[in-house]
Structure 1
Amino acid sequence: MSAPTAPPILDFAAFYGSDVDAKEKLVEDVRKCCLRNGFFQITGHRVKLDLQKRVMKCSQRFFDLPLDEKLQIDKNLNSFNRGYELLRSQMLEAGTGPELKEGLYIGEEIPEDHPYFVQKKLNSGPNQWPQTVSDREEFQKTTMEYYHAVFELAKDVLGVIALTLGVDSNFFHPLTDGAVATMRYLHYPAQPKDEDERLNRGIGAHTDFGCVTLLLQDEVDGLQVLDAPSGQWLDVKPVEGAYVVNLGDLFMRMANDKYKSNIHRVINKSGQKRYSIPFFFSGNPDYLCECLPNCRAPGEPAKYPPITVQDMVTGAYKESYGRAEKYKKEIESKKLAVVPSVAAVGA
């Protein structure tokens, strides 16, 4: 048996071209990836390299701000998951420490009179923009230009995945119409190489919550994907211009576990700062997720009952952030418990 390799790099240009054989090969390659690990990389897409570079500079400019200026748009100040996330706010892997990353959460501009905001739909509200970042107007314009470009690419990726299931490429239009997606600017501070990786992971081992994720990496590595069949962790080396694509739990549920939402993590042992920009495509909050065509044998029952995008993703968010808060409270309680014993020794 051949040794496992990192997720393959696929030329997505075939999806847009007229070469039938090339398109069929792309669809088959994506199908194989979905069945094995749910991860692949794509080049040849329609998001321009210049835009990718500009948006990465926006991310770096934001994280260079003083902490008190970033905290002016703390996402805990609202209920719709927009704004700045402090270091160690989330804990995706039980048994590790809260994660050594900070973020800025961004989505479609949803005004307060929009039905999604009024009805408290998933991650729906106005963006919280930093007021002190340099060239603020360009920062907002570039960020949203990039958001919309990757939103369209995510729809194209779902079009290819639909083809792998033997249905038309527009099968997921009811899911993508009115869809909610969240983009994150992420910064992983440099870690000393002798740090305990279980306590200082950039992101603990986890699967994503929604349908599909598109990740833009800078030149610093750290992303690892678990090769489930072999149990080995595989490094996903950054490739200029490429997107790392992976399926989330919601899609695996719809695929009756046929397609994989795979475990991955970030361990930043480079000694450098690391920046990445994941784009989490959830879908229309009211879309009812049911077993997809050709994902079960005749007479085989669906493994999961129907669930909306809203309920599935909201529940996963609460679990991961609640885990981090519980960990912090436990640590604080242990510290307080030590104080009386120290005082007694001093007496």
Structure 2
Amino acid sequence: MRPTGWRAWVALAAVVLLLGTVLLVADDLAPEPTPLPGPPENAPRVLVAMGDSTISGEGAHDYEKGTDGEDGNWCHRSRHASIYRTSLPTIDRTINLACSGAPSPQVGLGDFEQYTEPSQAERLAPIAARNRVTAIVVASGANDDPAFSHVLNACVEGWTGQGRPCHETVGPEWSQRVERMVPKLERALRDIRTVMSNAGYQETDYQLIVQSYAAPVGPNVAPDLQDLSGCPFRSDDLRWVQRTAVPILTTGVREAAGRVDARFLDLSRAGVGHEACSDERDPSREWFRRLAVEWDDLQHEDRATHALQESFHPNEAGHEQLGRCLAEFVDTGDQAAACLAGADGNLHAATSRGS
């Protein structure tokens, strides 16, 4: 027979009290939730460079030990690379993971190697765990379908007469090459986001900056240098590189950056007036290497194929200028900017509204 009246109420109260006690005991015994990892608060604040030759320091000499051909590693990470010329007071340490010739798959996650080095994104993971990564700067995409360095080689062949002008051979398919590049670069950038997320970072904890490419040559070549002593290019090819190829490539890189909500730094006009071979009387005013031959390397079979690797990359002065502009951009809150020469002759980060 079920209890009725006041007996039923007493029984119900006892059950409720018992359940409450069990729940309290269970809560006391439950393990504390494991806090998610995150950016270490008191660790060194670091700036990381990832990508290809334009940010590794190719062309600036003084390469880090182990990256100048040793055991097949030709990543050419220079101590004069732009990332080391930022001089940001809020940064304790700068780390360069970039590798000359690296395509987007090697920048992202996966098994792709470049000059014996594994995925740059995988190498980012322990850095993010041990340091407080405040910004990551990426320069990538040109070594994917565009194969920009090979295009410049084709332009040289056009000058020698061994091939047709590069604006005729590559020009008609250039836009399609860049279009095929965009999803590959986007994938690499998403991989970087994934690595940072797995390390406990929110997207607001760090800056992801994607920079485009500068035109290393232009139509204002000094007449006496438009040959093998400096810049062996046809004038119509030089115009195509500066006015068509680089702007289209810039648009593609900008699109990939926008797809992952990364900040974008436009370098397409950064070298105007300071391209290779643009100043016959004062070469120190140029920010890019001319046709560069490492003659000693030609005497060694294992180095001969890399004897021209530095050609048409930013030189030490160029990396210094790009580093200055990058530092200014890091310190702003602008989503996009362009590196343009100011009244003082140096590069500065101009916001997209003014570029």
Same fold (TM > 0.5):
no
- Name the structure, 1 or 2, with higher relative contact order (CA <8 Å, separation 6+): 1
Flag the structure with higher strand content: 1
TM value normalised by structure 2: 0.29
TM-score normalised by L of structure 1 = 0.29
Decide which structure has greater helix share.
2
